């Protein structure tokens, strides 16, 4: 039997994978063995597509990952070697490549005796993780764009559930972290051979740290995308479409108060530019509001850490901060 994890990148797939692999019924590869066959991804010429060192971001190039160009006989041979199928003696073979979300039906076709576990993470925390991880490899991505990526992953998970039915178990990252025992029970009820799995290390709540890294402007950027208040994104998502997804996956829209009572100016400058005086901060937003930014961007603006992230044709965010 094959077990495929349908989890977005940076969405907790390693955590789920490590827990499941503690079962004596599971044969696994090294983390990236399953992905190596797909590592001949094109280097994206599109500035909006973030690129990690090896693998592309599947939600920006879905058709490529669903292409018929792949030799599935060869893939079975490569994966079988990584799983050591002939000598394993274990009944479950697990694979967790993030693009699996967008090729679940192909995997079900090529591996008929398969089951799937899908997992989704709170969009705000997922977006923060993507931004922190991918922006070092590719500039030009906004939080608006990462929200579109989250929507694409969420909608394909729903499509997979509709098509796969009882062959797919959907769980939430937050449940795995905060209600670990109950979620593990849910998993081995779905697949009884996993009943002997255990927790290999102390659980850490990563969503809390993501909240601490956000500012008011970050929250409002994402809310602009959720509520369809921006045109500056790779795809406009209607407000109705967003609200349906959030309700289905039991997530709420964050508000400024979710960041606590920290003074926004102090919070913002402490995070991005601890050595920049407050008068420079207000000058920055006055320039932003008047739309008078000229190239080259002044050094003090770069010090604020905002030049790449918020240098856009529309400067209306000051009202959210003051």
Residue 100 tokens, joined? 């699996």
User: How many angstroms from the chain centroid is the CA of residue 40?
Assistant: 22
pLDDT of 77 reads: 83
- Return d(Cα 52, Cα 181) in angstroms, integer: 33
pLDDT of 44 reads: 33
Three-state secondary structure call for residue 74: helix
Spatial contact of 53 and 114, defined as CB atoms under 8 Å apart: no
pLDDT of 185 reads: 96
What are the per-10-residue average pLDDT scores of the chain (322 residues)? 94 93 91 56 36 59 78 84 83 92 95 97 91 63 88 97 97 93 96 94 69 74 89 86 94 72 38 44 48 49 45 32 29
- Return d(Cα 309, Cα 21) in angstroms, integer: 39
Its CATH class, for the domain covering 2-256, is: alpha beta
pLDDT of 278 reads: 44
pLDDT of 32 reads: 61
pLDDT of 226 reads: 93
β-bridge pairing 114-120 and 168-172: parallel
Strands in the chain per DSSP E: 2-6, 26-27, 92-95, 114-120, 168-172
Three-state secondary structure call for residue 100: helix
Residue 156 tokens, joined? 């394909």
- CA 253, 259, 260, 263 dihedral sign is negative
- Return d(Cα 142, Cα 148) in angstroms, integer: 10
Which residues face 3 on adjacent strands?
94, 115
Indicate where the chain has its CATH 3.40.50.300 domain(s): 2-256
pLDDT of 60 reads: 82
């Amino acid at each position: 039997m094959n077990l495929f994890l349908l989890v977005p990148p940076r969405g907790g797939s390693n955590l789920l994978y490590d827990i499941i692999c503690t079962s004596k019924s599971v044969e696994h590869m090294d983390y990236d063995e399953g992905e190596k066959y797909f590592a001949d991804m094109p280097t994206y010429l599109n500035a909006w597509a973030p690129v990690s060192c090896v693998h592309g971001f599947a939600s920006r190039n879905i058709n490529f990952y669903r292409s018929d160009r792949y030799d599935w006989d060869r893939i079975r041979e490569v994966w079988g070697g990584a799983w050591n199928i002939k000598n394993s003696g274990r009944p479950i073979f697990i694979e967790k490549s993030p693009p699996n979300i967008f090729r679940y039906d192909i995997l079900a076709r090529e591996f008929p005796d398969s089951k799937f576990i899908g997992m989704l993470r709170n969009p705000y925390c997922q977006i923060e993780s993507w931004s922190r991880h991918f922006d070092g490899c590719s500039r030009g991505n906004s939080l608006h764009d990462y929200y579109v990526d989250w929507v694409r992953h969420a909608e394909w998970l729903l499509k997979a559930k509709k098509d796969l039915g009882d062959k797919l178990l959907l769980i939430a990252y937050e449940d795995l972290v905060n209600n670990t025992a109950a979620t593990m029970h849910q998993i081995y009820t779905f697949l009884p051979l996993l009943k002997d799995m255990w927790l290999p290390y102390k659980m850490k709540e990563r969503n809390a740290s993501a909240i601490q890294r956000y500012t008011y402007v970050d929250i409002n950027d994402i809310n602009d995308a959720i509520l369809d208040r921006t045109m500056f994104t790779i795809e406009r998502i209607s407000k109705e479409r967003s609200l349906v997804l959030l309700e289905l996956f039991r997530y709420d829209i964050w508000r400024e108060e979710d960041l606590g009572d920290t003074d926004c100016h102090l919070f913002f400058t402490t995070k991005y530019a601890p050595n920049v005086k407050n008068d420079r901060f207000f000058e920055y937003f006055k320039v932003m509001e008047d739309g008078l930014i000229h190239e080259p961007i002044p050094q003090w603006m770069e010090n604020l850490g905002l030049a790449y992230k918020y240098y856009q044709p529309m400067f209306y965010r000051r009202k959210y901060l003051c």
